[in-house]
Amino acid sequence: MELEKDNNNQLSVSRNSEEKRCTLVGMTCDVTLSALKIATGIVGRSSAILADGIHSISDTVTDALVYAMVRLSGKGPDERYRYGRGKYETLAAFLISLILVVVALGLMHEGAQDVWAAVQGATLERPHNIALIVGIIAVIVKEGLYHYTRLKGRKTDSSALKAYAWHHRADALSTAATLLGVAGAMFLGERWRVLDPIAAIAVSVLILVLAYRLGRPAVEELLEVSLPDNEKDTITAIVSHVSGVKAFHNLRTRRNGNLRVVDMHIKVDGDLSVTASHDITREIERQLSDALGEVLTNIHVEPYHGHNQCEKNESSLNSKL
């Protein structure tokens, strides 16, 4: 048991190291891109790129937030946090979704103002070619960060990294919208410079949808909503086929970061020894971990006295979980 616990601790440490390394890569790229965009916006006479660079400064705040939450979640369980600190990752995902909402509303507001200004006859100065080049580089880098972070998020099953990846994608989309406006201003003439704010408004709507998709599961996890039906079906199938389990009930599930918490009561032959009953619970834990990843189980063992009406109802309920 101690050896298995040590292996789990080593896996958690390795996972947390990957999360921190991934966040530091994103932070380094965001700081570099912010400085590059701001310098380019000033030198290349592009207010759109300059505004995008100033907006990118907020990315470093998100980077710092994710890094702090990942560090906290990696400390593991102790006397105060008996289930670990996985909810810090969930909180990070929720906060990122809120940041995306603020960013989207800001883009929408600025876009609407620029469209109105264009309708009123305002014109923008033609950007320099370097603004277009830097914008293309920024889109490529942010899209690359999205795929890199998404891959690491799937590998570590980190809700924070998965949300962080979509934040990179949102940045790539907003920069692409800026590029559209810059290109329109450079090649299509003054009347087409309104493409920039129109595209920004369209992208802001996409970011709002993305924020909802990220925020909803984070809120559900913070409220300890049960695991998805497919995972509960997996749990039910595994427990039902473990040798020695006669019936089970009171199945309760939830997530804590990347950790799945499973509580249940199982019924076994009343004549079994304590050691044999314990071996059954250990086998359940092993199979659930093999199927679902990191799992914390709380299994209460009860003697089985045959199918009475109550147990039939319990079995029927379990089949629906």
Q: Which of 197, 222, 247 is the last residue of a domain?
A: 222
Least confident of 66-75, 105-114, 239-248, 293-302: 66-75
Q: Which amino acid appears at position 200 of this protein?
A: A
pLDDT tens digits, residue range 12-67? 556 667 777 888 888 888 888 888 877 876 776 665 666 667 666 667 777 777 77
pLDDT band at 1 (very low <50, low <70, confident <90, very high): very low
293, 151: one domain: no
255, 303: one domain: yes
254, 310: one domain: yes
Q: Which of 196, 222, 248 is the last residue of a domain?
A: 222
pLDDT tens digits, residue range 174-183? 778 777 766 7
User: Which runs of consecutive H residues, i.e. helices, occur in the chain?
Assistant: 2-43, 47-73, 87-119, 129-156, 159-187, 195-222, 229-241, 274-292, 309-320
53, 116: one domain: yes
The confidence score (pLDDT) of residue 280 equals: 93
The confidence score (pLDDT) of residue 155 equals: 82
Mean pLDDT calculated for residue range 91-116: 81
171, 289: one domain: no
Pair type for strands 259-269 and 247-256: antiparallel
Mean pLDDT calculated for residue range 222-230: 85
The confidence score (pLDDT) of residue 50 equals: 62
**Beta-carbon contacts of residue 130 (< 8 Å; ≥ 6 apart):** 40, 43, 44
What residues does 264 pair with on adjacent strands?
299
CA distance 53 to 33: 7
Number of domains in the chain: 2
Q: What is the CATH number of the domain that holds 208?
A: 1.20.1510.10
249, 311: one domain: yes
146 pLDDT more than 80: yes
The confidence score (pLDDT) of residue 4 equals: 44
156, 134: one domain: yes
Q: What is the CATH number of the domain that holds 233?
A: 3.30.70.1350
150, 15: one domain: yes
Range of the domain at 152: 2-222
The confidence score (pLDDT) of residue 268 equals: 92
Average pLDDT, the chain: 77
Residues of the chain with pLDDT > 90: what percent? 17
175, 245: one domain: no
218, 257: one domain: no
The confidence score (pLDDT) of residue 262 equals: 92
Angle between helices 159-187 and 47-73 (to 10 degrees): 170
Least confident of 112-116, 137-141, 281-285: 112-116
pTM attached to this predicted model: 0.62
Mean pLDDT calculated for residue range 235-247: 92
302, 241: one domain: yes
Around 41, how many Cα atoms within 13 Å sit in the side-chain half-sphere? 20
CA distance 31 to 36: 9
Cα angle 50, 53, 56; round to 5: 155
Output the CA–CA distances (angstroms, integers) from residue 137 to 37, 178, 320, in the order listed. Answer: 10, 13, 51
Q: Which of 201, 222, 243 is the last residue of a domain?
A: 222
The confidence score (pLDDT) of residue 260 equals: 87
165, 267: one domain: no
**Beta-carbon contacts of residue 159 (< 8 Å; ≥ 6 apart):** 89, 90, 92, 93, 153, 217, 218, 221, 257, 258
